[in-house]
Structures are given as C-alpha cells and as structure tokens.
Amino acid sequence: MNDLKLFDRVYLVGRGSWGGLLPLTAKLDCNIYLIDGGGELALIDNGEAFNLVKLKKNILAAGLDFNKIKKLIITHDHVDHTANTWLLKKILDAKVFAGRGSYFFLKPDVYVKTGDKIKVGEVTLNVYNTPGHTPDSLCLEANMESKKLLFTGDTAIGDQPWKSKGVVGWYNTAWGSDIKKFKISIKFIKKLSPDIILPGHGLPQMTRKKCAKALENCQKRLAKLGKRPEFESLIPFTFDLKGNKELLVNVKISKRKKRLS
C-alpha cells in the first residue's frame, strides 16, 4: 500500500477501472482519498456499494486505523462517489459533509460552502463550491509539504495518459449540469493555481505546470461542448472501441428516483 501513499497525510485507498486503470476496490468506484489528520481520519468520497471489504483492507494495509474515520466528505452526490455513505456513517459513527443541491436527495450532517473549513485532526481543508457537473460539486484545498493540493471531484479530471486532454465530469442537464457555471468553476480553479490536482477519477496532475495546462484544456473542452446546444445532454468523454477517438454521446436521464436514507 506504500505506493499509494501520495503524501505524508494523503492516501489513495480506492479506485475503479475508469480509463482502463487497475481497480483498487470496486470496478465502478471513484478515486477514494483518505486524509490522515493524526487523531482522526477522513474519506474524500467513499465509492459505490460493493467495495467495503477491499476499502477497509487497503486502509489497514496502509497502517491506518479504519475506526478512526470520523468524517465522510462528499465532492458531489453521484452513486460512484456516495453509495456507501450511510453504511459507513453507521459503522463508524461518522459525520457526512457535502454541498447543497444534491440531485439524489443526499442529506448530510453538515452542509458546507465556499469559505468554510473542515478540520481533520491536524489537517485543514478549505471548501469551494464548484457547480457545473452537478449543483452540489465541491473542491477541497489542503496545504501539505509546501504544496497546494486540490481535490477536484469530477469538476476537473484534467489530462489523462490515454490521449485525453481536459477531461471533465459527465454533462447532463437532467441532474443539473450547467455549462455557464461549469466554465466559471474551471476558471476559478485555475486562479487557485494548484500545485497538484487530485481528481475524482483517473490519475493526478502532480506539478503546477501540468495542473495549469490541464485546466486550460478543460476550458477548451467546455468551450467546444457549449457550441452544441442541440444536445440536451452530453457525456464528454467516451471513446470508440479502439480508444483512439473521443465521441460525444447524447444521453438522457428522464426519471428521478428518491434515495432512501
């Protein structure tokens, strides 16, 4: 598990097979980050419903105490990021933190917004609202080892090694995607000048130069996406079977189901 210790206090403890990566937990999982604050731990996103055994195993393999997780911080309410939330909350007696505007009726213990701070033991996370992919999307900023780390969820996934530049989260108006707000959020993130971007899927951007370039490419992607108003909704990163060509796929989500919690 040492190869997944990203920084002194940050671990990647879960990941799906998005982009052809080797999954660390369930295949449909988002990236699941663990913050080690010393006295307590927190998860940034927690993944889908079938990952709990592997997730706990990875945390223990990192030499950390699973039962010290007392905060579950949600970047946005999609099931690949949140399906385990209520089970983990019950098992760990943890508090759930999220932004307002959940499409799937997530009701956290604490709603957070730009300017708020979440304390995880000795680590402080600065909260920013970054709507666009979803209304409740958040980014979380931490300063570690003289670096500005930014957990971006699916707002900015960035440049990925399989010839995909400026990847952003799926865009669908049915769950509240908003192209204007998306553009504003990416512009805001770019102004934060992160040294490292830790996205909700895929691989991180590990230098300030790579972060800046990735965010510039996110802006280009959204500009291109905004020129297709005839589509109600788009998934802006899918590929042909050979993985060589990006496609724009029209997807509609027509039924809104109420989450049981």
Tokens found for residue 81: 């990021």
Fold (CATH) for 2-250: Metallo-beta-lactamase; Chain A (3.60.15)
The DSSP H or E segment spanning 214 is helix 208-225
Mean pLDDT of the chain: 87
* Mean pLDDT computed over 87-91: 94
Q: Does residue 252 have a pLDDT over 80? A: no
Q: What is the pLDDT of residues 174-186, one digit of tens each?
A: 888 999 999 999 9
Chain Cα centroid distance, residue 140: 10
pLDDT, greater one: 109 or 253: 109
Q: Is residue 104 very low, low, confident or very high in pLDDT (cuts 50, 70, 90)?
A: confident
Q: Is residue 239 very low, low, confident or very high in pLDDT (cuts 50, 70, 90)?
A: very low
Q: What is the pLDDT of residues 50-77, one digit of tens each?
A: 889 999 999 999 999 999 999 999 999 9
* Mean pLDDT computed over 232-248: 45
Q: Is residue 229 very low, low, confident or very high in pLDDT (cuts 50, 70, 90)?
A: low
Distance between start and end Cα atoms, the chain: 33
Letter string b/e over residues 69-91, b meaning 16 or more CB atoms within 10 A of that residue's CB: bbbbbbbbbbebbbbbbbebbee
Least confident of 14-23, 39-48, 96-105, 227-236: 227-236
Are the CB atoms for 132 and 185 separated by under 8 Å?
A: yes
Is pTM beyond 0.85 here?
yes
- What ranges do the domains of the chain cover? 2-250
pLDDT, greater one: 164 or 189: 189
CA separation for the pair 238, 256 (Å, rounded): 24
CA separation for the pair 5, 233 (Å, rounded): 37
Q: What is the pLDDT of residue 67?
A: 96
Q: What is the pLDDT of residue 261?
A: 43
How many Cβ atoms are within 10 Å of 190's Cβ, its own excluded? 17
Q: Does residue 243 have a pLDDT over 50? A: no
Q: State what percent of residues in the chain have pLDDT above 90.
A: 70
